[in-house]
């Protein structure tokens, strides 16, 4: 029996993870380069990623695989800050209440302690309840609700809690109480230590993963005939398959299948994601912030997260590279030049540099970044993927499984799928 003809759509980390564990498969990628959302580019003498990317993986096998590609800057203790109303305080806010004005600190602590009593043992039904039960009303209303509005653009009660692992820390009463009594060293943050390439941006450590993979670049899939098992590409080419592994966005894939039934289309239409805008800036001054990155709670500032690429790579050169990220609903089409101008003015005010010190600035929009983990996501994704699976189409990766995963997990998801397809089905 000849080997099944398996083709892969997308050469991001999930596609590469699959391909490296399925010898003989071909990977069709719409772009002219592999790497997907983990790619980096050079601008104004600095490397920028598609939003702040760091390697905080604890997966030994992954670190062995990617750790030798390029010299890495090892950050033993990250500095992560928050900004609100002209005040800087350490991240995450609940562990550093001492940094807040006395009245806020006391209100936050009182509400936090009351919540521990009031909601003990209760299971939160959504993100709003999760925050209320974990942190109490003051932190919910004055921090988490503000940030959710800027970042997710979805009411908190519509968000699920399945995305929280590895992001917010489960509340630890003793730490929070201690953090309200005096300055606290951050010991438990998820990103306390990380690695980042000294040169070339985040993708410098991942680029070798594409070596040896049968890559077909500039091949954008536009139609999938799920019955005849044929993929058509924008350049007019076609490929048949026994199994199709797709890492491209699930709604896009369903849209390419003319005979996808209405219920599957309806489920795919429920999937929401964020449009991401990155403002990349190089300023001719050093040390504009002690932070590796910081979060901005102020509603009047569009920017949600700001990172400093030279601080990630450990480079000192008399300049500061800044990446400011703005997250919008996927359908938003903002005036980008106005957004850039406002972001530069806001950054200048926050970081205290004059416009004349800006050496280079650009704005880049990415149509998809974080998937929105709302309450509809899980059932809708299962419905779509079950239907696809029945037609020889498996999906994996950040947008293929429509579930947030870090880069190491995206690659591991591709690898796990290759292993699962190899095993005989029960
Ligand atoms: C804002 C942000 C910050 C992040 N920060 C970190 C971090 O700090 N650390 C970390 O480890 N991870 C981070 N991640 C996660 C990491 O970027 C992803 O897990 C990983 O890049 C996802 O890889 P993927 O292959 O699943 O998806 P993708 O990278 O999206 O790959 C899919 C590929 O499919 C291609 N494609 C799309 N449509 C078609 C088509 N029609 N035909 C053919 N090809 C197509 C795309 O061009 C792309 O190359 C972050 C993610 C985001 C969004």
Predicted confidence (pLDDT) per residue in 40-93, tens digit? 999 999 999 999 999 999 999 999 999 999 999 999 999 999 999 999 999 999
Nearest to 109 by CA among 120, 118, 98: 98
Q: What average pLDDT does the segment 292-304 reach? A: 97
H or E stretch including 173?
helix 173-181
Pinpoint the residues of the chain covered by CATH 3.90.660.10. 41-91+189-199+274-367
Range(s) of the chain covered by CATH 3.50.50.60: 6-35+206-271+373-422
Q: Quick check: 244 pLDDT over 50?
A: yes
CB of 248 within 8 A of CB of 238?
no
178 pLDDT higher than 70: yes
| CATH code, residues 41-91+189-199+274-367 | 3.90.660.10
Q: Which of 49, 160, 46, 171 is nearest to 108 (CA)?
A: 171
Q: Tell me: the pLDDT tens digits for 97-127?
A: 999 999 999 999 999 999 999 998 899 999 9
Query: Do 15 and 214 contact (CB within 8 A), yes or no?
Result: no
With a 6 A CB cut-off, is 277 part of the ligand 1 pocket? no
Ligand 1 pocket member 62 (CB < 6 A): no
Closest residue by Cα to atom 6, ligand 1, is 53
pLDDT bucket at 164, cuts 50 / 70 / 90: confident
54 Cβ closer than 6 Å to some ligand 1 atom: yes
Ligand 1 nearest-atom number relative to CA 14: 25
The string of pLDDT tens digits covering residues 393-411 is 999 999 999 999 999 999 9
User: CB neighbours (10 Å) of residue 382?
Assistant: 11
Is the CB of 221 inside a 6 Å radius of any atom of ligand 1?
Answer: yes
**Rounded to two decimals, what is the model's pTM?**
0.96
> Which alpha helices (DSSP H) does 303-404 contain, by range?
309-313, 336-351, 377-389
Going by alpha carbons, the residue nearest to atom 5 of ligand 1 is 53
- Please indicate whether residue 209, judged by its CB atom, sits closer than 6 Å to ligand 1: no
**Which residues pair with residue 233 across a beta bridge?**
221
CA of 117 from ligand 1 middle (Å) equals 41
Q: How far apart are CA 195 and CA 186, in angstroms?
A: 18
Chain-centroid distance, C-alpha 214: 27
Query: Quick one: pLDDT at residue 374?
Result: 97
For ligand 1, whether the C-beta of 369 sits within 6 Å is yes
Split at pLDDT 50, 70, 90, the class of 170 is low
**CA triplet 229, 233, 237: central angle to 5 degrees?**
85
Q: CB under 8 Å to 409, separation ≥6 — which residues?
A: none
Question: What's the CA-to-centroid distance between 12 and ligand 1, angstroms?
Answer: 6
Ligand 1 neighbour 414 (Cβ under 6 A): no
Categorize the per-residue pLDDT at 166 as very low, low, confident or very high, splitting at 50, 70 and 90: very low
What is the pLDDT, as a whole number, of residue 163?
84
The correct answer on CATH 3.50.50.60 for the domain covering 6-35+206-271+373-422 is yes
Judged against a pLDDT cut of 70, whether residue 12 lies above it is answered with: yes
User: Is ligand 1 within 6 A of the CB of residue 31?
Assistant: yes
């Amino acid at each position: 029996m000849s080997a099944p003809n398996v083709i892969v759509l997308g050469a991001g980390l999930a596609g590469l993870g699959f391909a490296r564990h399925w010898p003989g498969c071909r990977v069709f990628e719409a772009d002219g380069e592999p790497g997907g959302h983990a790619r980096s580019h050079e601008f104004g003498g600095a490397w920028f990623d598609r939003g702040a990317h760091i390697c905080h993986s604890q997966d030994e096998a992954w670190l062995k695989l990617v750790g030798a590609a390029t010299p890495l800057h090892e950050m033993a203790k990250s500095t992560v800050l928050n900004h609100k109303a002209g005040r800087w305080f350490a991240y995450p806010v609940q562990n550093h209440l001492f940094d807040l004005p006395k009245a806020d600190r006391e209100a936050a602590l009182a509400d936090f302690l009351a919540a521990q009593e009031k909601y003990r043992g209760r299971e939160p039904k959504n993100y709003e309840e999760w925050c209320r039960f974990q942190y109490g009303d003051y932190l919910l209303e004055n921090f988490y609700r503000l940030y959710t509005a800027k970042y997710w653009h979805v009411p908190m009660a519509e968000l699920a809690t399945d995305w929280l692992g590895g992001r917010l820390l489960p509340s630890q009463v003793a730490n929070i109480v201690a953090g309200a009594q005096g300055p606290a060293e951050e010991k438990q943050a998820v990103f306390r230590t990380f690695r980042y390439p000294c040169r070339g941006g985040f993708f410098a450590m991942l680029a070798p993963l594409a070596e040896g993979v049968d890559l077909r670049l500039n091949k954008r899939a536009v139609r999938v005939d799920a019955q005849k098992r044929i993929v058509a590409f924008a350049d007019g080419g076609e490929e048949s398959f026994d199994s199709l592994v797709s890492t491209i966005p699930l709604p896009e894939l369903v849209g390419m299948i003319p005979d996808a039934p209405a219920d599957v289309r309806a489920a795919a239409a429920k999937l929401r994601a964020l449009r991401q805008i990155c403002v990349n800036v190089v300023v001719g001054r050093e040390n504009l912030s002690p932070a590796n990155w910081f979060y901005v709670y102020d509603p009047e500032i569009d920017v949600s997260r700001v990172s400093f690429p030279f601080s990630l790579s450990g480079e000192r050169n008399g300049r500061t590279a800044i990446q400011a990220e703005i997250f919008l609903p996927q359908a938003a089409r903002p005036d980008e030049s106005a957004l850039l101008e406002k972001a530069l003015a806001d950054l200048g005010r926050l970081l205290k540099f004059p416009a004349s010190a800006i050496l280079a600035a650009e704005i880049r929009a990415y149509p998809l970044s974080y998937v929105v983990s709302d309450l509809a996501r899980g059932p809708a994704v299962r419905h779509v993927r079950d239907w696809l699976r029945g037609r020889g189409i498996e999906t994996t990766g950040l947008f293929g499984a429509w579930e947030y995963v870090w880069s190491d997990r995206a690659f591991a998801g591709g690898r796990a799928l290759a292993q699962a397809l190899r095993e005989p089905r029960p």
